[in-house]
């Protein structure tokens, strides 16, 4: 597949709520992965992240690609993130790294707070948004938890089902209430509402 066709396919693949993101088989996902040559030009080549919201949405897309393809984090980050980075790309890269290293701990939090649901049957986008937000709560104490939770809710509204925002809100509130003492201990000033966090 040529780079241009790959880019066009990826743009459709990640369009917000056009079809709640298509369900592909692992074989289809593997066929859509970039080659070494095309990895230099990811699907967002030429675009610029202008906010942490943009960065968070890109993280969810990287997580989705990883979920389907099981390709390495290194390949996917290389494909999606350009070499010339502003601070939002750097945030995106840092968040991906924390997700990679904290994956097991993050999923334990989701499982423990979703006892009424089978973990494997949670909507895929809901699960990915939860993973991203919990990584922020655990590993980015400088970001106010309220900002993290509100951003996750808004992203779920855009990319997942109509009921997803309530589900995501409930799980994240429960996780935050469990870990907030350690968060405040690590960074007592994290309640500051700095617009740069959004």
- Count of domains for the chain: 1
Query: With 90 as the cut, is the pLDDT of residue 17 above it?
Result: no
Higher local confidence (pLDDT), 40 or 184: 184
Query: With 80 as the cut, is the pLDDT of residue 9 above it?
Result: no
pLDDT band at 130 (very low <50, low <70, confident <90, very high): very high
Query: What pLDDT does residue 57 have?
Result: 95
Q: Token pair for residue 62?
A: 């990287």
Average pLDDT, the chain: 77
Q: Report how far apart, in Å, the C-alpha atoms of 41 and of each of 17, 54, 138 are.
A: 25, 18, 32
- How far apart are the two ends of the chain, measured CA to CA in Å? 37
Query: With 90 as the cut, is the pLDDT of residue 58 above it?
Result: yes
Query: What pLDDT does residue 29 have?
Result: 45
pLDDT tens digits, 102-129? 999 999 999 999 877 788 889 999 999 9
CB 43 within 8 A of CB 7: yes
Please state the rounded mean pLDDT for residues 169-194.
73
CB 56 within 8 A of CB 94: no
pLDDT band at 24 (very low <50, low <70, confident <90, very high): very low
Residue % of the chain over a pLDDT of 90: 49
CATH code, domain carrying 179: 1.10.940.10
CB 77 within 8 A of CB 118: no
Boundaries of domain holding 16: 3-197
Query: With 60 as the cut, is the pLDDT of residue 30 above it?
Result: no
Q: Token pair for residue 182?
A: 């350690």
Query: With 60 as the cut, is the pLDDT of residue 190 above it?
Result: no
Query: With 60 as the cut, is the pLDDT of residue 21 above it?
Result: no
How is 21-49 classified by DSSP, letter by letter?
S----HHHHHHTSPPTTGGGS-TTTT---
């Amino acid at each position: 597949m040529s780079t241009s066709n790959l880019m066009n396919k990826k743009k459709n693949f990640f369009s917000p709520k056009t079809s709640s993101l298509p369900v592909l088989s692992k074989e289809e996902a593997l066929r859509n992965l970039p080659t070494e040559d095309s990895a230099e030009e990811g699907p967002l080549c030429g675009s610029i992240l202008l906010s942490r919201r943009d960065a968070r949405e890109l993280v969810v897309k990287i997580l989705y690609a990883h979920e389907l393809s099981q390709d390495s984090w290194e390949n996917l980050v290389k494909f999606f993130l350009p070499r010339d980075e502003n601070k939002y790309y750097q945030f995106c890269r840092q968040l991906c790294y924390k997700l990679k290293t904290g994956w097991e701990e993050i999923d334990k939090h989701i499982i423990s707070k979703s006892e009424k649901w089978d973990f494997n049957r949670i909507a895929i986008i809901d699960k990915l948004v939860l993973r991203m937000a919990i990584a922020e709560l655990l590993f980015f104490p400088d970001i106010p938890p309220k900002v993290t939770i509100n951003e996750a809710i808004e992203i779920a509204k855009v990319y997942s089902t109509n009921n997803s925002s309530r589900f995501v809100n409930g799980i994240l509130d429960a996780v935050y209430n469990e870990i907030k003492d350690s968060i405040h201990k690590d960074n007592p000033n994290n309640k500051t509402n700095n617009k740069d966090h959004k």
